[in-house]
Amino acid sequence: MSSLLSFVLAWTIFSLAVSASCLNSAQHGKIGFFSKAPLAFGYTHPSPSECAIECESLSTCQAWLFTVNGKECQLYGSSPVAQAENMGFILGLCGEEHANTPTVSSSSKLVLGPSSSRGIVSASHSSVAASNVNKASADHLKRHQHEHFGHHHHNHH
């Protein structure tokens, strides 16, 4: 039990260290203009730090914009095309440092030991099986439709 506790503790420290890259980039009084719609937005992250951590946890998130008055957090999959001074906003860019996080997190998975790798293996097996099943059922469907049209044709005579 104690080993699990220390692992959870290490994981917490690890995730805080990672999200620091998103948080350190926070620019108070800056608004970002983006060419694409946000990946996600909502009012569930009432502070800029929570907004940054949420962006950090999404591998596709490159930047976040926090509305101070509305306490709204918007997550974007690209860097802003332009920035402007605006006291009502906090802008955070997670781009460059963020690109390195997947390698860090994948190596941390090794700490979990054999059970997790077994899970990963079985997951890949099931997806392969699923794609085979889909192919088979698609072929079956084609055959079925063909027969169906054949019968339909005969009914008219």
pLDDT tens digits for 119-129?
Answer: 444 444 444 54
User: Are 34 and 81 in a shared domain?
Assistant: yes
Average pLDDT for the chain: 70
Which of 9-18, 34-43, 55-64, 94-103 has the least mean pLDDT? 9-18
Residues 42-101: tens digit of each pLDDT: 988 789 999 999 999 998 999 999 999 999 999 999 999 999 999 999 999 987 544 444
Identify the pLDDT of residue 43: 85
DSSP state letters, the chain: -HHHHHHHHHHHHHHHHHHHHHHHT-EEEEEEE-SS--SEEESS--SHHHHHHHHHHSTT--EEEEETTTTEEEEESS--SEEEEEEEEEEEE-HHHHHTHHHHHHHHHGGG-HHHHHHHHHHHHHHHHHHHHHHHHHHHHHHHHHHHHHHHHHHH-
> How many domains does the chain divide into?
2
Whether residues 71 and 119 share a domain: the answer is no
Tell me: do 74 and 146 sit in the same domain.
Answer: no
